[in-house]
Amino acid sequence: MPLYRDEKLKNGVRLCIWKMTELVTDLPLPPNLDITSIHSNTRRKEILTIYALLHHATGSPLELIKHDHTGRPVLQNAEISISHTKGWAAIVLSRHSIVGVDIEYFSDRVNRVASRFIRTDENMPTLQTRLVNWCAKETVFKVCVGEDLQYFDMRLKPFDAQAKGSVHVEDLKQPKTIKVNYELNNDFVLTYAIAEDMDHHTKL
């Protein structure tokens, strides 16, 4: 089982990462999950990997992930956020707080679309800062569900990309600031946030 990480964060929040190396047929199929209508092997693999992570984290092979009207994944007794990319999948679980996670395989493709998500008043001069910017904003989308945020509604405060760290993302619609933790390596960039790590402030 290629479980890459199982990490307990603060206040009972749990982060699990899976390295997707197996075939679809190697992944367990939850007994009450029907994927017969899904014809893409890649999509099937993503779904079954997320369920493998959920089963690992909860010990229950029976719980199904549903989605609300915004598309946010929903569990019966916990908050969950999910993400997958080429070769990797991640979930964050919490009993109490809305959470967000994003994982993106390391590549330079964000350079080609940087103008679509990086504001002109954000200084993101390197591939690493652009990757963190992209994933951090994707994570804030998930934490601030229901706000209908767009990329340019968010602004990252200046930072120097390290192997691990955190960035502060300004939600310019509310306004508030959300702390987003990140990890950056040669395989992927990972970001996650917890709703309680928001700082509401008054717009000047």
Considering the domain architecture, whether residues 84 and 144 belong to the same structural domain is answered as no
Considering the domain architecture, whether residues 92 and 8 belong to the same structural domain is answered as yes
Separation CA 162–CA 134 (nearest Å)? 16
Considering the domain architecture, whether residues 92 and 121 belong to the same structural domain is answered as no
Under the banding of pLDDT at 50, 70 and 90, the label for residue 200 is: low
In CATH, what number is assigned to the domain containing residue 35? 3.90.470.20
Q: Is the pLDDT of residue 204 over 50?
A: no
Under the banding of pLDDT at 50, 70 and 90, the label for residue 124 is: very high
Separation CA 128–CA 133 (nearest Å)? 9
CB 165 within 8 A of CB 182: yes
Q: Is the pLDDT of residue 15 over 80?
A: yes
**pLDDT for the residue numbered 32:** 86
Average pLDDT over residues 32-59: 94
Under the banding of pLDDT at 50, 70 and 90, the label for residue 14 is: very high
Separation CA 178–CA 187 (nearest Å)? 25
Separation CA 31–CA 114 (nearest Å)? 42
Tens of pLDDT, residues 132-152: 999 999 999 999 988 989 999
- Alpha helices by DSSP H, the chain: 41-58, 114-117, 127-143
Q: Which residues pair with 3 in a beta bridge?
A: 18
Domain final position from 53, 68, 102: 102
- The first and second tokens of residue 23, run together, are 């075939």
Considering the domain architecture, whether residues 136 and 160 belong to the same structural domain is answered as yes
**What average pLDDT is seen over the chain?**
93
Q: Is the pLDDT of residue 162 over 60?
A: yes
Per DSSP, the chain holds a count of helices (H) and strands (E) of: 3, 12
Considering the domain architecture, whether residues 31 and 116 belong to the same structural domain is answered as no
**pLDDT for the residue numbered 1:** 60
Output phi, psi for 160, to 5 deg. Answer: -105, 125
Considering the domain architecture, whether residues 31 and 53 belong to the same structural domain is answered as yes
For 130-176, give the DSSP string.
HHHHHHHHHHHHHHTTTS---GGGEEEPP----SEEEEEEEETTTTE
**pLDDT for the residue numbered 201:** 59
What distances in angstroms separate CA 101 from CA 59, 145, 150, 192, one per listed residue? 21, 13, 17, 4
Q: Is the pLDDT of residue 203 over 60?
A: no
Average pLDDT over residues 14-27: 95
Separation CA 197–CA 183 (nearest Å)? 17
Range of the domain at 151: 105-200
Average pLDDT over residues 76-98: 95
Domain count, the chain: 2
Considering the domain architecture, whether residues 71 and 8 belong to the same structural domain is answered as yes
Average pLDDT over residues 86-110: 96
